[in-house]
Structure 1
């Protein structure tokens, strides 16, 4: 019985530690966050005033000859 209670307590704690659902942005390639990770860049802003953090490989390439 103690083992069952310990297992339930551990599962409850682990369910609280998993990250919440972050909103997707930029064609489902980015995530809306307050702060981007090291390997991400801000390209646009989300509707909830957070930054849309996108990995550089998913951002469009800027062509210098097109305006």
Structure 2
């Protein structure tokens, strides 16, 4: 029983300490980060001042202008 309680306590602590829980943006398709990866682009800034990094498959398509 003590081993079970110890295991649960450790798992609870680890779930609180794991990094990587980033804020989402751009209709939940982007992530707020200090620096974006190579293919990601920044279109807006997050409320915390970081870049909203958007993956290529969620980036808006550029439409050619018709004159």
Quickly name the TM-score band, shorter chain normalised. 0.5 to 0.7
- Which residue of structure 1 lines up, in the alignment, with residue 24 of structure 2? 24
Task: Please report the TM-score for the alignment, with normalisation by the length of structure 1.
Answer: 0.66
Q: Which runs of 5+ in 2 are unaligned?
A: none
Task: Please report the TM-score for the alignment, with normalisation by the length of structure 2.
Answer: 0.66
Given the alignment of the two structures, is residue 44 of structure 1 paired with residue 44 of structure 2, yes or no? Answer: yes
Write out the 4+ residue segments of structure 1 that deviate beyond 4 Å after TM superposition. none
Which SS does the other structure have where 1:52 is aligned? strand
Which SS does the other structure have where 1:53 is aligned? strand
Aligned residues: 65
- Cα shift at 1:5: 4.0
